[in-house]
Structure formats: C-alpha cells, structure tokens
Structure 1
C-alpha cells in the first residue's frame, strides 16, 4: 500500500528543505492539488470544493490533514469530465506540502518574530485559493542548505468581509544566492462564512524590488 510522503524536492521545492528548481520543469509529475485526510480508516482526497477522490491502496496517516500534490487517474466509468461528487481513482504518486495556519499580528514586532526578508509569489496553477486553503508558490534566494528558512502568513485584519494578510519570510541570515521555489498552504477555514461563500483575500509581501500586494479568491468546501 502507498503511504503519503513528505514532498520530495524533485519537482517543487518545499520549505524548509530546498533543492534547485527550474520554473519550466517544476511539478511535471503532479497534476492536481488536493486536501489529504483520513475518514473511517480510509484515505480521502478532496479535489476541489465539491469532488472527493477515493484512492485504492493508499494507506491513511492517522489524524493527518494536509494539502498535497498528487498524480492519479480515474478508475470508475464516469468519464474524465464527470462532475460526480465522489470518484474512484488510482494514485501513482502523492506528496504532502507544508500546511500551516495564519499567525497573529504582532505589530512592530512582526519583523523580529516572522522575518523581514524579501519573497516573491509565483502566479501559476499552484497559487490558488480552494477548499478553504490559500496555496502559494513562492521564490526566495538562499545559499546554505543547512540554514532553515521560515515562512508565515500574518493575519492583519479579518472579519466583516475584510481579509488582509501579510506574507513574511525569515531567511535567518541566508537571504542571498540562487533563487529557489517552494509551495506552502495556509488553512483559512476558520474564516469560512456561515453560508460557505468565497472570501477575497488581500496579500501583501516584500518583493525583491518593491512592496507588492494582490487579491486571491478563496473558496470553501460545500457542506
């Protein structure tokens, strides 16, 4: 039986251990982002806000809920474009990515506690808001593989339709050298509206040339 593995850094380099990546070659072997969790002793993969994948031969990790990259094929006879809420699949490869919750705003102490080093968000299929998670593909500079970098999403304001976050990077003195990519998922399910409607999230971050900001819509699982 297959076990979920920590994201091997051959496709997209996950924090906090890195391997050099080429933007064009990244994530070739993985075709979808899912939420991996266990249910009644079985593994289930939430493909999007309305579709669950039931994998054969995939051993669940107890009490594990993480975002993951997966390569799979459908094994039922419903067709590739079916919108059925449950699909049976065979999983060829699956790897968890760093999954975290937002952290509290510490005001002037944010830099000291969460870092103030530059970071870039890459716009591709890995940067998306779905199933209550904000998934971000990012790029940073580093030179020493023995130095652990940190990444955090700071909750600046939330509530009454106003959701503002700040992405922080702590290079721990290793903020130079070649650029490396990473993927992280932030769990925003605590901000799910009672009716399950999407939220608009404003993200601010310190880029390598200037301060930046962008909006990403985060959708939530149908209940």
Structure 2
C-alpha cells in the first residue's frame, strides 16, 4: 500500500486567472492588483451563520470573517473553495480572524455516492484511470475529502467523478474514487478538483482514524491514507507540486 504525504495549506499555488465571484478583486484605491493576489493561499469551506452571514472555515479550528462579503457568492450552498485573502484589522465579530477576500472560486463539492455493487458501479461510475496528485489541496479536513487528480482529456466531455464506500467490513473508513470519462480517454494530461462530503462515514467520536482512499491509476490500483476525524482538523504533511496544469471540467 502506498501512502501519500501533504503540506500545510499555507503554501500557495499559481492560478491561471483571478476570479472575483461577486467580491472585490482588490482592496487598493488605485486598483493595482499585486502579483501575490494571483495565488491561492487557502483552501476553505464557505459556510453560513445562523443569520445567513457567510464565513470561511480555514480548517477544523479556525474561522474567518470575510469583511467584504455580505452574502455568499454560492447562495445557500456549503462548498469547498480556493481563495486568496489578506488579513484585516477590522473586528472579528466572534470569528477567529478577519480577512479581506481578493477572490474566491468554488470547487465541485459533492456528497458520497451509493455503492451499487460492482456491476452497477462500473456501469454508473466507471473505473477509468486517474492519478491522485500529491498536493496541498489533496487533504481530508472539515468533514471533506478534497482531491486534485489528473487524467487524459481530449474532446471537452465533462468527466464524472464520485466517491463510494468500499463497504469493507474490516474498515468502515475505506473509500474508492471512481472516474467515468465517457470514452474520452485520449489527449493531454490535465487536472481536476473535487471535494466529497464524508458525512456518510461513521462518526469517529472525536478520535483520529486512518481514512483509506483507493483508485485505479494508469499503472494499476493505488491507495493513500489520510488522518481523518469527523469535523476535526487533519493536517498531513505534503510535498510541493512544482507545475500546475489546466483545470478540466468534471461533474
């Protein structure tokens, strides 16, 4: 079994474009956009408070008040998102930190899918090869498994990705990444991002367990383990991804 390691989310990756998603793109009076603002410097969960005020969950223990967001650009949905922010001197209003959001862009966020049995799983979810990238975005935290993966993309067809329980009686925290390319198996390598909500897994009751992820790679079956605790921080170490490719369409 192969185990991946991951870095803290403080390391920043270069994004191809700056997206505003309904918030201001720069806080400088002269609208100068600094180079550092092109980098994602956090992976967050976008949540709503009891009065529908948006806030950001940086990890399981740190909440951020986005001072320039009065409504969520994602409506009532709780989603995982990449963002670039600067810390703000404004009042935290009960959150851990106040931040000014330069841009924020959601990641495809999905629930786990039902295990239908192997024959139906193949028909519905496929089992086309992918590589799970050893990246700071690939992490289990705040009740989600967020994955950066790479595969071949050719004709622009959106690929279908899902996470199912393997229903392993010896390990209830074993899951499998399924990828259906709908025949789009040629072309260049490109990346996709997806986050799966893990609330279908048994509650860890405050304990940290090993979450095992299995997938079909281009060189055969692989697996990785993550530290996982229901809605508690998991912060495994990682190595740096040295090149960033285009982000492709997934559903």
**Shared fold, TM over 0.5:** yes
- Distance change in 2, residues 1:109/1:168 (3 Å): same
- Distance change in 2, residues 1:132/1:158 (3 Å): farther
Shift of 1:103: 1.0
Runs of 4+ deviating beyond 4 Å: 158-161
The alignment yields a C-alpha RMSD, in angstroms, of 2.4
- Distance change in 2, residues 1:49/1:156 (3 Å): same
Q: Does 1:167 align with 2:177?
A: yes
Q: Is the 8 A contact 2:212 2:223 kept in 1?
A: yes
Q: Which residue of 2 aligns with 1:72?
A: 85
Instruction: Select between 170-179 and 188-197 the one with higher mean Cα deviation.
Output: 188-197
Structure 2 residue runs without a partner (length 5+): 1-14, 18-36, 233-251
Q: Is the 8 A contact 1:134 1:218 kept in 2?
A: no
Structure 1 residue runs without a partner (length 5+): 1-8, 12-26, 79-83
Q: Does 1:144 align with 2:155?
A: yes
Instruction: Select between 46-55 and 59-68 the one with higher mean Cα deviation.
Output: 59-68
> What is the TM-score with the length of structure 1 in the denominator?
0.78
> What is the TM-score with the length of structure 2 in the denominator?
0.70
Structure with greater strand share of residues: 1
Instruction: Write the distance in 2 (CA, Å) between the matches of 1:44 and 1:76.
Output: 16
Q: Secondary structure at the match of 1:110?
A: helix
Q: Which residue of 2 aligns with 1:115?
A: 126
In the TM superposition, what whole-angstrom CA distance separates every residue of 1:30-58 from its partner, at most 9, and x where no partner exists? 01110001221311000001110000121
- Distance change in 2, residues 1:52/1:210 (3 Å): same
Matches within 5 A, 1:1-223: 10=16, 29-39=39-49, 40-58=51-69, 59-60=71-72, 61-76=74-89, 86-107=96-117, 108-145=119-156, 147-157=157-167, 162-191=172-201, 193=203, 195-221=205-231
- Distance change in 2, residues 1:76/1:197 (3 Å): farther
Shift of 1:87: 0.7
Instruction: Write the distance in 2 (CA, Å) between the matches of 1:159 and 1:46.
Output: 33
Q: Is the 8 A contact 1:49 1:219 kept in 2?
A: no
